[in-house]
Structure 1
Amino acid sequence: MNRKRCIIAPHLTSEKTIHLPVHYKQKDAIYSLALGSRLVDGFNISYHQHPNKILLSEDLYRGLLIPYQSKADVIIIDHTLFIGPLVGIFTAGFEQSTQPLGTRSEFFIKLLHSFRQHPGFAYLFGSHSIDWEKGIVEGLLYHEDSWVKKQLPLPSVIYDRLPNRKAAQSALIQETKRKLTQDYDIPWFNPYFFNKWEIHEQLLTDEKTWSFLPHSVQLDPVDALSKIETLLHLHQVIYLKPTNGSHGDGIYQLKKENDGITVFSNFGRSIPYDSIDQFLQRLRKDHATHDFIAQQGIELLQIDNQPMDFRVHTNKNKEGDWTVTAAAAKVSGDHTITTHQLHGGTVKTLYAVFPEEKKRLQILQQLSHTAIMLSQVIDKKMTGHIGEIGFDLGIDQTGAIWMFEANSRSGREIFQHVSLKKSEWLIGKRIMDYASYLSKTALTTSDHANVY
């Protein structure tokens, strides 16, 4: 039941015929073809000498609802030739316009373009796109500089790119997810946003990862004051971070002074307070304290007198194993407390930050080893199919590595850097490879009763 990679293309002069490489004569008889939820049968088989090309007569090609011509992985199970993966990129927030996802449209154009460079097929869809009675989807493709709607099968794998937690928690999306994963047995990967405190707790209980975590406490209404006082006494500088925050929004830096504290934010403001209690009273006017984590401040490596940390992106490969696909430095902007680009941070390649090759390779090896270990532990302890993680890692003045954040839906802004385009390509490849792995795993462990 090994997968084989082939070009899937239409054959224009035949009818009800699949044209297979001659080595398929030695394999199990094929009675049907499947792509995602779509199945066709009642065809003839002919053989040709090209070892890596499968040609389908136009009626079969149309009947399978193949989105576009591409290489794909094929596998024969129970006399059915499965073609794939067919990846459905699931999201919400669709609009009736030439930019169907509003300001996020450009992100999805790049994502679809990236996937199209690798074997398999991908399209964009949401809850509203599915015709449950027919078992088909009105999927979105991007072709020749325009969005195209096309009738497509339900996917063999779903890649979750919901925009925010509010969308993920909606009743319609929850029910769509339940039906696709439970009734149709479709693997759904990156199924939820990470909660910072939950991830911290899981990593803290594993001997391989606890040492990478800054001293952190979850605040609560009862003893938030005493927790902050203790942490600030121990570390002089601490950060308050929203447990469900992103992009550096809502983060505060608290610095202990002789006569109180100074609080910094990403808006470039520093406000003195006579006491921690005074600051907490101000914070409670806009936020619930239990929505925050208090975390030890780390004295990071600097470049040009600005602190920097590192984004390390990990993805599973075609064997389901973790690999590093990107690593870059993020440098904080003037008068900001984090390195996020939305708040003035800049992205630099490791080459720019560590011009000496030996040092650069040493740092890359340390960051990669740490990110792989963290990925493996998170994967083991969290539920669902996790296929990619974006880590924010720091290196302090002694060379120790710290993990500040793990994101299941990390942004792709850093890949706008011209020197990181290859990483964007590699991430696209890994996602399609992992989708192929999940698809094969699902096929070999289910009775694929939901193929139409």
Structure 2
Amino acid sequence: MDNAPLIGIMQSNRRRRELSNTFFYINDLNLKLFTFAPADIIWSKKEIQGIYLEDGKWIEASFPFPDVIYNRCYRNVRKTIRRLEKYIGKNKCFNLINHFNKWWIYKILSNSIIKDYLPETFPCNKDNIINLLEKYKRFYLKPSLGHKGKGVYLIKLGEDDQKEVYKDTLLPREIITGNDDFFNKIIQYTWGRKYIVQQGVDLAQIDGMYFDIRVLVQKNIVGNWDTTTIVSRIAYHNIFNTSLCQKVYTSVKVFDQLYKCPVKRDKVFEELNKVSLIAARIIEAKRGQLGEMAVDFGLDVTGKLWIIEVNGKPQKTIYDNIEELECKELIYKRPLEYAYYLSKSK
């Protein structure tokens, strides 16, 4: 173990350090692991006051700066990472940024070969809202830096130019008459935050419930992007927001219901794989070194795939209760494999 690579898992604060426990249990690469928060770095001594797991107990200890850092902070710690790179070397920290801005992800991908998979998306303003309502009769209002589906609204154009506002459920929260009142409500919904407006796609359902398709792509032990798993979140009845899901299944199970033809099903999986890996490479080329992301797709009623959003810090716990999923350990192993690869790279 003395010559084993030292890998630091950086969490956003000290309370979250113990959330790294699964990585310790599945570590079979002879890695020395510890977890820490930015506040644990003692710059004057070039050491970190972190914790590690041994025999089921967390032990606090001082560590030198590690060989590689796996960034799990959801906030922007780019300055901390740049400072650490002066000591551990460039490209020894991955996931430089975890909290993806929906608007800049759209701008990056809309100029790429996968642009046709993107719903039209714009910064939230009056002209863009009018444009989307006229063109599609519906749109989504989303925080640019949102997560877990919070703060998402669905707006539909109803009869007599009424605006129907939905929050998570398919029961209107408000029905607004008059443009002035409507735009005043938009200001209330978005107050203090940047929002985007996104084309309202008429999504398919399964057994009367909305679902999405999440493709988890991660770097592997030779440093290449690879698809780890594809799952689907099934929303509750009368809920359009799939972040509020009642169940998560492998997409194979869902697609077996959607597609009677195995050839058609396999082509959709091939398309999901191809587009997700392209998206990962493009985003990494523009935003810096990454090790994993989740690409969320919607399937519309015509069978077309749409990239709904891309997550820079995929929630790993959603996979824990999928009985038929065979690669649960690999989801946690892949970041360690990539860290091992970086530790051996010049």
Q: Does 1:415 align with 2:319?
A: yes
Structure 2 counterpart of 1:257: 158
Q: Which one of the candidate residues 293, 297, 301 is aligned to 1:397?
A: 301
- Matching residue's letter, 1:414: I
Q: Are residue 238 (structure 1) and residue 139 (structure 2) matched?
A: yes
Q: Secondary structure in 1 aligned to 2:229?
A: strand
1:375 positional shift: 1.1
Q: Which runs of 5+ in 1 are unaligned?
A: 1-7, 9-60, 62-82, 95-99, 445-452
TM-score, normalised relative to structure 2: 0.89
- 1:283 lines up with 2:194 in the alignment: no
The one-letter amino acid of 1:92's match is S
The structural deviation recorded for 1:218 is 0.9
Query: Do residues 111 (structure 1) and 9 (structure 2) align?
Result: no
Q: Across the two proteins, how many residue pairs are aligned to each other? A: 338
**2:33 corresponds to 1:128:** no
Deviation at 1:184, TM superposition (A): 3.5
Relative contact order, higher structure (CA 8 A, sep 6+) = 2
Q: Structure 2 matches for 1:18-417, cutoff 5 A?
A: 61=2, 83-94=3-14, 100-101=15-16, 105=18, 107-114=19-26, 116-162=27-73, 164-165=74-75, 168=76, 176-185=80-89, 187-192=92-97, 193-206=99-112, 208-219=113-124, 224-259=125-160, 260-266=162-168, 270=172, 271-285=174-188, 287-288=190-191, 291-340=194-243, 343-355=244-256, 357-382=262-287, 384-417=288-321
- Deviation, 1:148, is 1.5
**Any conservation in 1 of the 2:71–2:96 contact (CA below 8 Å)?**
yes
Partner AA of 1:112 in structure 2:
F
Letter in 1 for 2:65: L
Distance 2:32 2:57 in 1: 18
Superposed displacement of residue 120, structure 1:
2.2
The one-letter code of the counterpart of 2:110 is L
Aligned in 2, Cα 1:347/1:276: closer, same or farther, shift over 3 Å?
Answer: farther
- Secondary structure at the counterpart of residue 327 of structure 2: helix
Q: Deviations over 1:250-279 (max 9, x none)?
A: 000001111211110026651111134423
Q: Tell me, what secondary structure is at the counterpart of 2:141?
A: strand
1:190-217: CA deviations, max 9, x gaps? 11121110010011111x1111100111
Displacement after TM superposition at 1:142 (Å): 2.1
The superposition leaves residues 265-312 of structure 1 with CA deviations (integer Å, 9 ceiling, x where unpaired) of: 026651111134423212323534871111111122211011211011
Structure 2 vs 1, CA of residues 431 and 239 (structure 1 numbering), >3 Å: closer, same or farther? same
Question: Which amino acid letter does the alignment assign opposite residue 249 of structure 1?
Answer: K
SS at match of 1:255: strand
Shift, 1:434, TM fit: 1.5
Segment of structure 1 superposing worse, 184-193 or 232-241: 184-193
**How far apart in 2 are the matches of 1:422 and 1:119?**
23
The Cα offsets for residues 300-341 of structure 1, whole Å up to 9 and x where unpaired, read as 22110112110111011223221001110112222322101x
Please tell me the residue identity of whatever aligns with 1:435: A
Distance 1:420 1:280, change over 3 A: farther
Is the contact made by 1:350 and 1:360 (CA closer than 8 Å) also made in structure 2?
no
Q: Deviations over 1:58-105 (max 9, x none)?
A: xxx4xxxxxxxxxxxxxxxxxxxxx443221112322xxxxx43xx74
Distance 1:144 1:360, change over 3 A: farther
Number of the residue aligned with 1:440: 344
Q: Which amino acid aligns with 1:177?
A: I
TM-superposed CA distance for 1:363, in Å, is 2.7
CA RMSD of aligned residues (A): 2.3
* Percent identity of equivalent pairs: 28
* 1:359 CA drift (Å): 4.7
Structure 2: give runs of 5+ residues left out of the alignment: none
3-state DSSP class of the match of 2:253?
A: helix
Q: 1:161–1:409: 8 Å Cα contact kept in structure 2?
A: yes
